[in-house]
Structure formats: structure tokens, C-alpha cells
Chains A and B, each alone.
Chain A
Amino acid sequence: MVSQRDRDLFRDDIRSRGTKLSAAEREKILRPYLPDPADISRRPPQRRKKAPRKTPIRTFLKSQLHQFTYTLIHIFFGLYVRIVQAYHALVDRILAIVYYHHRTPELIRKDVKNLDRLPEHLSVVLSMRREDDALAILMDDVAELAAWCMSAGIPMLSVYEKSGILKSCIPPLHQTITNKLSSYYDSSRQPALQLFAPHHPIYNPSPDSERTQSSAPGSGSLTVLLLSATDGRETFVDLTKTLAEMSQNGKLSPEDITMELVDAEISEITTQPSQAAAPLSDDNNNEQASTGSPGVSMKPEPDLLLVFGSFLKLDGYPPWHIRLTEMFCTGDKSSNMSGYGEAVEYQGFIRGLWHYAGAQMRFGR
């Protein structure tokens, strides 16, 4: 640590002379200070080399002291962490009681009514739990989130789950979400739902009825995008492979690869699912996509990323689009070190939205 006196001198130098000093002058000014941090910041390798020969006992005592301090700090830190977690868990329970959605969209809408801004595209990081019916729980979580988003007026929801298991069961997931929505909304104003994943067609079993319903008053539409780890780095690998092949065949020179090109290619996967899936999908789905359902144009960059886990870890989330995404981690109240298995609860969702809007938490509606 530089002493206060030296720091003041250093600051005075910079302040009074600005930064427009000649090199020699600067060196002259700094010379006296440089050995100062050098003395203090003893480099460990050097110290270790010399110290054992000179003062073995002192070194031993020192390492023992450090070991002791380490243990002591961690004991107290653990206590502190537990107290804070207990407090958080308590707050969480209170919030869970005060803010419960009761499966009524109106209540959810009321909770978000006073917020200055809402994310246009919400992204959620979920993880499979270890229970036997983990997939069912996961699908139910997605369905709940979809219903909350729909009620809060968030038009786009993307769900990231590392293993990609959700992508393999799109039809049952759609069914689950529809069932969940029907428990939130009465049958006359069922909102329109679109569900898709990169390289998969939009799943929308009855497009005509959905569209007529989406025009019904009071109901919105929701686009749900399913993401997995393969949409992250793997996508870049695929893109690079294709580009390398094109370049080897002389169709493209490496200089043509710009940020705009990469951005366009990467964005296409999430924004225009129909095109990516066109050669694979059957005619029915193609027609649906090309006739232009309202939610096809997906905003590629999520505004808010909610991580349901005990600490903020992206865990392979597609890297390109989270450049300006606000991140919020709900979990800080469980002993689960792995970051898996945090429950998806309404108060976590609503806290994330408050946080995004820069609002404070309030006890009471």
C-alpha cells in the first residue's frame, strides 16, 4: 500500500503538471516512489526463495498465521453468509405471501403496472433438477414463466436450458403451456402462443384459430424461444466451418468476414426460425411461417436475463446477444453450491422485473 503522503505527492504531480511532462522529468518524479511499492509488494517467489534460508522459523510462523487467519475468516464469513441467507429466505417467503399471482393476469399486471420499463425480450436460464420428474417440473416452470410473461405484457420469452432437452419435446411443451394459459385466462380470450427453437419450425398446431383469438381484445401474444448450449459456441463453430469451406472454395475471402456478417448470420438463427428450418420442415409449417405470424420477428438481444440459480453463471448461454443484457440472479438463499435446482418462483420473476426497472422492493402491493 502506498502511504498517504506519497499518494498525495503523486496526485499533486499529476494535477499540477498535467500529463504533458517530458519522459525524463516524469521518470525523475516517479523514481522515488517506485521502490516504495516495490518494497511493499514483495513478490512471493523471490520471498520464498530467500526467506527459508534466512528465517525459517519466522516463515513457518507466518504461514501458520496465514493458515489460521484463513480458517478464522472463513468461519466468520460462513456465519455472515448464513445469516444473510436466512434473512433473504425470510424476505423471499414474505414476498411470496404478499405477492402471489393467484393465477390471475390482472394481479400480475397490477404488480408491474408502476414499473418504468418492462423488458421487451426476457430471457431465463433454467436448469434441470435431479429429481425423477425433472423434465415435468422444467416444463411446468416454462409454462408458468410463459403465463407470467403473457400477463405482465412481455411479448418475448427465451428459455435457456443447457442440455436442450426442451427442444426435443416441443409439442408436449406447447400443450403444457396452453393448459397453463387456460388456467390463467378464460377460454374466450386465450392468447396466441408461438413456440420455436433454432433449427426447428415454429410449432403452432392450429394457426387459424390462434390468429382469430389473438385479435380478441385483452389478450396478447407470446413468442417462446428455446435455447440450449448448442446455440452458443457450437453455432460459431458451425458458422466458422461454413465460412472456412466457402473460403477454401474461393467463394469468400477472410477479409469479407465482418461483425455485420457474423451478426446477421447469428441473429438469423433466433429471429427467423422458419428460414433456417425451411428445408427440413414439412409444407404445413412452411406456409405458417411464410404467411407471417406476428411473432416471427424476434428481437435477438434479450433485455433482461434472469438466472434462477444460486449465483450468476451463464453456463454456456449463447454469447453473442447478451452484450447489453441486464442480468439478474434470483437465488441466494439455498445451500446448493452447484447452481442447479433453484426453484422458479413468482417472487423471483417479479423481483427481476423490479430490478430491471430500477424500482425498490416494497412489502405490500
Chain B
Amino acid sequence: MATSMHLSRLRKWIVASPPIEFAISKLRDLLVGAIRQGPVPQHVAFVMDGNRRFARSHRIETVEGHNLGFEALARILEVCYRSGVKVVTIYAFSIENFKRSKFEVDALMEMARVKLGQLAQHGDILDRYGAQVRVLGRMDLLRPDVHAAFTKAVEMTSRNGNCILNICFPYTSRDEITSAVRDTVAEYSTPLQPVHASTGSIRSPFSESHIAHHIQAQSQSPPGPQAAPAEDTPSDIESASGSSTRSEDDRPSTPPGNVYEGTGSSFSSSTTLHLAEAKAAAAAEATNNNSNNTSGKFQSPETITSQTISDHLYTKGNPPLDLLIRTSGVERLSDFMLWQGNENTEIVFLDVMWPEFDLWHFLPVLLRWQRRISKQKVNPEAEGDFEGDSTPEQQQQQTPSSSDDVTSDDLLLHSDAKLKGL
């Protein structure tokens, strides 16, 4: 025990000695410069987990652990931005964390307020380095003074350059998704401007009533094709839903003029074909037009895509998440970046506490990512469609790879950590 303490003190003394410190600093520069040469993830997210456990295991106060965690953050941000990462998202505080002891929550809040306050006091430096700070999450849950500090920092850096630091302060992903859905719905249920309504509401440039009249005239003149398929239908299916099925069957045999109508408004097409109902249909069409005009003040909900929802998330405009790193060996997302991280994100769980996290832990993850990406660039189909293109070479590659293959390549670091457990 005593010897190990002395050893660690000796180690610390050596590391802290000026020449070694200089050498380590140069080595870091070199490594970061080397990382820049390859592909670099554009968006990296960190779950800064393990501050409390680190504090407990090193018998220091929890708040002290968080302070050390902040230092680790500063270190890793430096590495990220210098190696070319555009966006870093950090999970600093979960909405669930409000349930922790008041003392700790207050300390965290105070820390955030102080750090961001300090940030705001040195605007010139920030401007020079051009990082942009954004706060993601429910700012309304924060104390007013913390809220003010955050708003000020975000405000000050909003015009800065291309590097972005997203701080998820009271954040959970479910809350984010919910609010994205809510905002989307709110946007779609605000009526459009009347100027837009005139152009946007009517989907086709053709007048529907005009088309209806046209069909009416057309179907009155050639009654031939109308009668012939009507005889076919009874043989087809039962006559319970005959009227609709018949009109469905009619459509191919009707003159090409009807095609316009069919694309114009599909649901009324089945009725307009019947001679007797033609007038009623025209009337229905007229009311339909009216209703179209009233509801046409809204955007059509059918235009909502997953991109629409993504654009309403807090991370709108950021590049897709490439890498998600969680420290402390806990292998859960804990309500972080659920939406952003479910496509092509590589998720890495590291068995290291956040205050200890440094370039030396981050480097293997980055290297692995670079390996994978550069391999994908060489062999683009590897990531592509998995149903179609299967070349014999790939198959041959795969068959041995499922068994023990020494020339195999990629693996995750977290399983690496498991390796030590063996």
C-alpha cells in the first residue's frame, strides 16, 4: 500500500517534471496532428459518466469529482476540435438528475453557471477561437440565474464559427422527441398565410369542377365502354360492394380523358363515372373544393417525414452523429441521443471513469473509427444494400470470417475491456 503510494507519487513527479511534460505535450500534438490526416467524425457525443464513482473510489467529495470531470471535458474538447470534429455533444445533466440530492444538484448548477459565466466574460477569446455554445434541453427547468448565464453564453457565441459545443443540460431524449413531435404538430396546425394558401392549397393546376364537367360530357357521348365491363363484374366478386368494385374495374376501359380526373382527386372518381350520379358528384366535388380550401390553409400532414422531425430536434442542422462514447462501463444510453444515435452511429462503451478520460482512451476509438470508415471507402458495397449485390469474393470473405479468422479486422474497444476480464 505504502509502496504503491510512493510509486504513484514518484510517477506523478516524473510526469509533472518540465521535460517530461514538454515531451508529452509534443506527443499529444503529434498524435492529434496525425489523426487529422484521416477521416474524422463530424459529430461526437459523450456521456460524461463516472464522476461520482470516481470520487467515491478516490475518497474525495462528489463535487470534487465533478470538478475533475470538467477538467477532463476541457482536455477532450481540445483534442476533438483540434483533430477536426465539428460538433461535440455532451450529456451534462439529465432531467432525471433533479432527483439527486439537493446539495449535488445545486453544486452542479453552480458549476455550470460559474463555468458558463466565465466563458461569457472572455468573449474576445471565444471570438478568436470561434466555438459556438448551444444548450439543448429544458432550460425552463433551470433556476433563473443559471438560465440567465446559459442564455448569455449562448447569445454571445451564437455568431461564432464552425465548431459547436452542444451542452445537454436538463435533457432526456424522450423529452426531446416529444417536444419535436409537439413542435411539428404546432407548425403544421398553424394556418398558412393567405398568399400561400392560394398557391399552396390546390395541389393540381387543373380545376376539378372543370374536369368533372368534361367527364360528364364525355361519358354521355360514348355509352359503349360503360356497359361492357358492367356485365363482367358479376362474374368477378359478390355484388355486396359491387358499386365500388365495378367502378374500379371500369377504369382501365374508360377513355383516356378520365385519367386526368383520376389523378386529380382519386376518391371521387368512382362516383363520377356513373351517369345517374354525375350531377350529385359534381355537387359533391364543389363542396369538396370548398372543404379543400378551408383545410388547405394548413400544410398537408402527409408531407411530414422523419427529416421533418429531425429538423425539430434540438440538434437540428448538426451533422449526423458519428460516434457516441459513454464512459464508466455502463452500457446503456440512459435516454441520450436515442433518435440521433439509432442509424449509423457507432456506440462505444468504455470502462473508464470520466475524470480519467483522456486522449489515450479516446485515441483507440478514433483509430478504430478511421479504420472502419476508410475500409468502407475502399469497399463501398460493404455498407450498401444487403439484399442484392453479393459478389463471390465477398461471400468467400465472409464464410471464413464467421469462424476463427486471423485476418479479421474490426472490433470495439468495450469488448476489449471485457477481454481483460477473461
- Residues of A with Cβ closer than 8 Å to B? 1-5, 7, 10-11, 14-15, 19-21, 23, 26-27, 30, 34, 37-38, 40-46, 62, 65-67, 69-70, 73-74, 77-78, 81-82, 84-93, 127-132, 134, 162-163, 232-234, 236-237, 239-245, 247-248, 252, 254-255, 257-259, 262-263, 310-320, 322-329, 331-338, 340-343, 355, 360-361
Contacts and interface: CB of A to CB of B under 8 A. Distances in A.
A248 B304 CA distance: 14
Contacts of A247: 185-186, 188-189
Interface stretch (B176-184, B198-206, B232-240, B258-266): B176-184
A1 B175 CA distance: 37
Highest count of chain A CB atoms <10 Å: which of B177, B302, B368: B177
Interface stretch (B210-218, B268-276, B279-287, B410-418): B410-418
A88 B411 contact: yes
A335 B397 contact: yes
Please classify how large the interface on chain B is, using the bins under 10, 10 to 19, 20 to 34, 35 or more: 35 or more
B342 interface: yes
Contact of B118 (A30, A329, A334): A30
B343 interface: yes
B248 interface: no
Contact of B346 (A69, A311, A325): A311
B346 A127 contact: no
Contact of A332 (B21, B295, B344, B411): B411
A41 B331 contact: no
A327 B387 contact: no
Interface in B385-422: 386-387, 389-390, 394-395, 397-398, 401-412, 414-416, 418-419, 421-422
A69 B363 CA distance: 13
Contacts of B308: 237, 240
B347 A320 contact: no
A2 B414 CA distance: 29
5 shortest interchain CB distances as A-B pairs: A332-B411, A130-B390, A4-B16, A89-B404, A69-B34
B346 A70 contact: no
Contacts of B74: 2, 37
A335 B30 CA distance: 29
Contacts of A342: 402
B305 interface: yes
Contacts of A259: 174-175, 178
Contacts of B182: 254-255, 257
Contacts of B421: 360-361
17 contacts: A3-B16, A27-B122, A43-B128, A73-B31, A81-B368, A85-B405, A89-B408, A130-B395, A132-B390, A237-B305, A241-B302, A254-B189, A312-B412, A317-B342, A324-B332, A327-B332, A360-B421
A11 B72 CA distance: 13
B33 interface: yes
A335 B174 contact: no
A14 B161 CA distance: 31
Interface string B123-159: 0010011100000000000000000000000000000
B78 interface: yes
A244 B185 contact: yes
Contacts of B293: none
B347 to A, nearest CB: 4
Contacts of B411: 81, 84-85, 88, 310-311, 331-333
B333 A325 contact: yes
Nearest to B107: A19
Contact of B398 (A30, A234, A313, A336): A336
Interface stretch (B49-57, B249-257, B374-382): B374-382
A315 B304 CA distance: 21
A241 B301 contact: yes
Contacts, number: 327
A41 B78 contact: yes
A324 B331 CA distance: 9
B367 A77 contact: yes
A307 B93 CA distance: 28
Interface of B: 12, 15-16, 21, 24-25, 28, 30-31, 33-38, 64, 67, 71, 74-75, 78, 81-82, 84, 107, 110-111, 114, 117-118, 121-122, 125, 128-130, 161, 173-175, 177-178, 181-186, 188-189, 295, 298, 301-302, 304-306, 308-309, 331-335, 338-339, 341-349, 364, 367-368, 370-372, 375-376, 379, 382-383, 386-387, 389-390, 394-395, 397-398, 401-412, 414-416, 418-419, 421-422
Contacts of A11: 67
Contact of A91 (B35, B343, B375, B422): B422
A364 to B, nearest CB: 13
Contacts of A89: 403-406, 408
Highest count of chain B CB atoms <10 Å: which of A3, A34, A88: A88
A157 B368 CA distance: 31
Q: B interface, by DSSP: helix, strand, loop or mixed?
A: helix
Contacts of A92: 404
Contacts of A15: 64
B47 to A, nearest CB: 13
Contacts of A162: 386
A85 B129 contact: no
B30 A66 contact: yes
A13 B3 CA distance: 30
A323 B335 contact: yes
A304 to B, nearest CB: 9
Contact of A82 (B25, B379, B407): B407
Contact of B372 (A10, A324, A337): A337
B371 A66 contact: no
B347 A334 contact: no
A46 B128 CA distance: 9
Contacts of B404: 86, 89-90, 92-93, 333
B306 A233 contact: yes
Nearest to A20: B110
B186 A254 contact: yes
B31 A69 contact: yes
Contacts of A331: 411
Nearest to B384: A338
B370 A74 contact: yes
A325 B341 CA distance: 14
Nearest to B191: A248
A41 to B, nearest CB: 5
A197 B189 CA distance: 32
Contacts of A26: 114, 117-118, 121
A263 B174 contact: yes
A16 to B, nearest CB: 12
Contacts of A27: 118, 121-122
A332 B405 CA distance: 11
A128 B387 CA distance: 7
A310 B401 CA distance: 11
A312 B347 contact: yes
A89 to B, nearest CB: 4
Contact of B343 (A20, A315, A341): A315
A181 to B, nearest CB: 25
Contacts of B372: 311, 337
